Amino acid sequence: MKKSPTTRSIVIAVDGTAASGKGTLAKKLAAHFHFAHLDSGALYRLTALAVLDAKGDPKDPADALKGAQSIDLSLAGDPAIRTDVVGQAASQVAAIGAVRQALLDFQRSFLASPPGGSPGAVMDGRDIGTVICPEATAKLYIDARPELRAHRRWLELKGMGIARDEAGLLAELNARDAADKSRPISPLKQAPDAALLDTSDLGIDAAFAAALALVSTKIEGALKDRHRG
C-alpha cells in the first residue's frame, strides 16, 4: 500500500462538534508537546469570508471554490471569521467536494512537515482522524451537551462585543452539527480508533488533563521511537 505523506510526523487529530472545546484543547496539547497547531475550521471560515466579501453564494460550488482558492491565511486570527454568520457559511462551503479537495493539500503538507521543524502537529476539525490523517498517532473526538456548547459560544461572542440570544445560538449550533454530520462528503463522525472526551462537566484544566491522559502514552511512545531513530 502507498504510504501516506504524513506517516513520518507525530500527529494528534482532534475532531468534534461545534464549540465543544476542541480548539482550546488542540492548542493546549500543541503547547504541551511543542507541536505545531492548525485549526482547520479557520480554512473553511476564511473560504466563507472570501465568498461573502465577494457577494457570492456559499452554497454555489463555483463561488465557493473561488473562495477556497483565494483565501488569505494571514487573516486566520481575524475576529471577523469567528462570527456565527461566517460559521454557517463555512459549513455550507465545507459540504462542497471541490472546496475540500482544494484545502486538502495544505492540511496534509502541514502534517507532513510541521512548521518550525516541530516533530509533530495537532490539527482540529471535523475530518482530521477520518479523512485528512487516518493514520494519526492519536485521535480524540470532543463533544459536549448542546446547551453547554451554546452557552460557551454565547460567552465567547459576548467577549467579542457581539450580543446574541442563547436560544438562537443553540438552534444554529444544532443545525450546523446536523449539516456537518449528514453531508455525504467527509461528514463529522467519530473515527473508530478515536477516544471520546465529553467536556460537558469539565472546566478547561480538567478537560485538558483528560485529553492529555487519553493521548500521552501514544505520543510519548512515538517521541521515544523518534529519538531512538
> Which residues of this protein are in contact with ligand C5P, per CB under 6 A?
18, 40-41, 44-45, 87, 90-91, 94, 125-128, 176, 180
CA angle 129, 22, 152 (to 5 degrees): 150
CA distance 43 to 123: 12
Please identify, using beta-carbon distances, which residue of 132 and 222 lies nearer to ligand C5P: 132
Residue 140 contacts residue 197 (beta carbons within 8 Å): yes
Grid coordinates of 215: 493521548
Identity of the residue, 67 or 87, whose beta carbon is nearer to ligand C5P in the bound complex: 87
Q: How far is the CB of 74 from ligand C5P (least distance, A)?
A: 17
Q: How far is the CB of 11 from ligand C5P (least distance, A)?
A: 14
Cβ-based nearer residue to ligand C5P, 97 or 115? 97
Cell numbers given for 228: 531512538
Minimum distance, C-beta of residue 212 to ligand C5P, in the bound complex (Å): 21
Smallest separation (angstroms) from ligand C5P to the CB of 115: 18
**What is the nearest approach in angstroms of ligand C5P to the Cβ of residue 125?**
2
Nearer to ligand C5P, 1 or 74 (CB): 74
Q: How far apart are CA 135 and CA 90, in angstroms?
A: 26
Q: Where are the alpha helices (DSSP H) in 113-159?
A: 146-159
Point out which residues pair with 140 in neighbouring strands: 14, 195
Kindly state the smallest distance separating residue 42's Cβ from ligand C5P, in Å: 6
Q: Which is nearer to ligand C5P, 36 or 128 (CB)?
A: 128
- Please state, in angstroms and rounded to a whole number, the distance separating the CA atoms of residues 15 and 20: 9
* 41 or 146: CB nearest ligand C5P: 41
Residues recorded for the chain: 229
Rounded to a whole number of angstroms, the minimum distance from the CB of residue 110 to ligand C5P is: 12
* Amino acid (1-letter code) at residue 93: V
Query: Given the complex with ligand C5P, which of 143 and 180 has the nearer CB atom?
Result: 180
Q: What b-and-e string marks burial along 79-107, b requiring 16 or more CB atoms within 10 Å of the CB?
A: eebbbbebbebbbbbbbbeebbebbeeeb
Q: How far apart are CA 12 and CA 34, in angstroms?
A: 12
